[in-house]
Amino acid sequence: MTTTSTPYHRGERAAQARAGVSERADHVGRSIRDTVPPVAARFLTERRMLVVGAADRDGRVWATQLTGPAGFLRAPDERTMAVAAHPAEADPLAEALARPARVGTIALDQAGRRRMRLNGRSTPDGRGGLNVAAEQVISNCPKYIQRRSPQDRPAAGAPRAVTAGPVLSTLQRLTAATVDTFFIATTGPDGSVDASHRGGFPGFLQAVAPDRLRWPEYPGNSMFLTLGNLELDPRAGLLLPDWETGGALLVTGEARTDWSAEARQAAPGAERTVELTVTGVLELADAAPLTWTDPEYSPANPPTRGA
C-alpha cells in the first residue's frame, strides 16, 4: 500500500529501484493527485472513448472500452468521474461493473496525443452508467500515441461475441502482430486497478505462441505503475481495439517482466520485455460505434526488428 511519504506501493518502489529511477520517480510522483483538476475535467468532456480495467467474478483481470458522444464523460465534482455508459452484456466486465468495483481507467486523446488515467472505485449510477470515485489521477506524456481521429459508424450494432476461448487463434495472432496500440490493466496489492497504454510500430507486440504475447517496454515516465503491479500480482488484461472496424480483442492472463540484459537487446529501444501467458480470449464485433482515421505514427516509436 502507499504511505503519506510516497504515492507508490512496494511493488512500484521495487520496480523503480530495479530500473535505477527511484529519484526521478519521486519527482514525477508529485503529479499524482486524488482529485480531478479543472483542465482534466475539460479534457474528459471532449473524449469519445474510455478504457476500463477490472477483475471479473473469477478474479481474472480484463481491459475493455466504453464509448459515447462527447460529454459522456464528465467530472461533476473534483473527486468523481461520471460515465454515461456501461459494458454490453457480451463484455467480460458487464457483471463486475454492475456492482461496486475497483477500476483503472484511461482516457486517450489520440488526435492531440494526450492521455489521462483515473483509478478508483466504481459504482452503478442507477441510470445505466457509472460513477468513479477518484483515488489516483495522472496525466501522462504523449509518447507512443499514434495520432487518429474518431468517426461515427451509424450502422454499428450492439457489441457481440464472435469467438471466445482459452488461447489465441491463428487469425487473432496475426491481428495482435499488426496492432500499433493496446491497453493493459493490472492490479495492485490492495485490490486497486490501473489501466495503461502501450504503443509502437506494427510488430512491436509479438504473438509468439497461441498462449503467449510479448512486447517491449519502452522508456516511460518512471512511475512503473504497470510493472510495479506485476511485481506483486501477475494478473493482467489486454485490450486490442480494431480501429478500422470498431471491433476489439480482449485477452486475459498472467504477465511477467524480463529485466535481463538479453531482454533489453531483444527489440530496438526496449528497456525490458513483458510476456503474457494467455488464459482467456474474447473477440467482440461492434465493440464501439466508431472507426478511426489512419494513424500518424508517433515520432517516439522505436523501429521494430527488421524495419
Domains of the chain: 10-292 (2.30.110.10)
What amino acid occupies position 282? Answer: L
pLDDT at position 182, please? 98
Helices (H), the chain: 10-19, 22-28, 38-45, 170-176, 225-232, 261-264
Per-residue pLDDT of 19-62, as tens digits, reads 999 999 999 999 999 999 999 999 999 999 999 999 999 999 99
pLDDT at position 1, please? 52
Q: Rounded to an integer, what distance in angstroms lies between the CA atom of residue 136 and that of residue 223? A: 13
| Bridging pattern class, strands 235-241 and 212-217 | unpaired
CB-CB contact of 286 with 159 (8 Å): yes
Give residue for cell 471466445. 164
pLDDT at position 306, please? 54
User: Residues 9, 11, 12, 14: what is their CA dihedral angle, to the nearest 10 degrees?
Assistant: 120
For residue 199, what is its C-alpha cell? 504503443
pTM of the model: 0.96
Degrees to nearest 5, angle at CA 253 with 247 and 258 = 115
Q: Rounded to an integer, what distance in angstroms lies between the CA atom of residue 195 and that of residue 119? A: 8
Please choose, from the candidates 195, 269, 262, the residue with its C-alpha nearest in 3D space to the C-alpha of residue 229.
195
pLDDT at residue 202 is higher than 90: yes
Query: Which are the contacts of 134, defined by CB distance < 8 A and separation ≥ 6?
Result: 33, 34, 35, 36, 78, 79, 80, 81, 118, 119, 120
pLDDT at residue 307 is higher than 70: no
pLDDT at position 2, please? 52
CB-CB contact of 130 with 122 (8 Å): yes
Residues paired with residue 296 on neighbouring β-strands, in sequence order: 147
Q: Rounded to an integer, what distance in angstroms lies between the CA atom of residue 90 and that of residue 241? A: 16
pLDDT at position 264, please? 85
pLDDT at position 4, please? 53
Degrees to nearest 5, angle at CA 52 with 241 and 65 = 35
What residue ranges in 37-125 does DSSP mark as E strands?
Answer: 49-55, 61-67, 73-77, 80-83, 101-109, 114-124
> Mean pLDDT, to the nearest integer, of 224-235?
97
Query: Which are the contacts of 89, defined by CB distance < 8 A and separation ≥ 6?
Result: none
> Mean pLDDT, to the nearest integer, of 104-118?
96
